[in-house]
Amino acid sequence: MNPQNGKILVDSQHWRCRSPLAPKTRVADLIAALNVSNPIRVILPGSSRSIYDGLVDCL
């Protein structure tokens, strides 16, 4: 917060990470794979990796 004028200052950061999704993965297969209680850890169709793995590599 800026004490002189009371405005809140935001220093936002963002990243653009690629998911380790196999080429030509069908949307229906992706939705079916992610339709679980912890989808970030599910091995993606046609891959040996999860969304979590892709995030770890990126961040």
Q: Which DSSP category does 47 fall into?
A: S
Count of domains forming the chain: 1
Determine which helix (DSSP H) or strand (DSSP E) holds 56, and give its type and residue range: helix 51-58
- 24 vs 53: CA distance, rounded Å: 19
Does this model's pTM top 0.85? Answer: no
pLDDT tops 90 at residue 1: no
- How do residues 8-57 score in pLDDT, each as one tens digit? 888 888 888 988 999 999 999 999 999 999 999 999 999 999 999 999 99
Domain of residue 31, residue span: 1-59
